[in-house]
Amino acid sequence: QYAGDKSEYGRMHGAGTYYPLSGGRYDGEFQGGKRHGEGTFYYPNGDRYEGHFEDGRKHGKGTYSYASGDRYDGYFVNDRMDGAGTFFFVNGERFEGEYSEGKRHGSGAYYYNNGICLQGEWWRNKHVSVVSV
């Protein structure tokens, strides 16, 4: 179900609200029938993404808020965390650094609640060279 602007061909184009058959809701910009531009997607499980879309996918700067309370602020490429970002855990810990294909990958720092900070290089979510600060 869709309510909003349409192109001359009847496709979603411009600002609107879309309710996919799989559940959830998208409020934002469309181009050529796809999510494109700034918008917010509300997932059926309670998660939410606010940010940029390109060709129907999360792409560019955005914030993904999990129903659990965790949150990621940073960049996305083709629906995955990719580039610089910060992941905030509901327990107060956080990771600041580089992501690739949805995983910690590259330089980064993990901040624990007890004040310890592990800095170093990460490879596919595993730290490979870490310096304790």
State the DSSP string of 76-98.
EETTEEEEEEEEE-TTS-EEEEE
The predicted pLDDT at position 129 comes to 86
Please give the pLDDT value at position 14. Answer: 96
pLDDT in the model for residue 57? 97
CA–CA distance, 80 with 96 (Å, rounded to integer): 16
Instruction: Point out the residues of the chain with pLDDT beneath 70.
Output: 130-133
Structure-block tokens of residue 18: 């879309």
Predicted structure pTM score: 0.92
Q: Within its chain, how far is the Cα of 130 from the centroid? A: 26
The amino acid at residue 37 is: G
Tell me the CA distances in angstroms from 42 to 25, 35, 36, 95, 112, one per residue in order.
5, 13, 16, 24, 30
Is residue 28 exposed (0-12), middle (13-18) or buried (19+ Cβ within 10 Å)? Answer: buried
Neighbours of 81 (CB within 10 A): 23
Amino acid at 2: Y
Compute the radius of gyration of the chain from its Cα atoms. 18
pLDDT at res. 132: 54
Query: What is the C-alpha separation between 83 and 91, in angstroms, rounded?
Result: 24
Query: What pLDDT score does 112 carry?
Result: 96
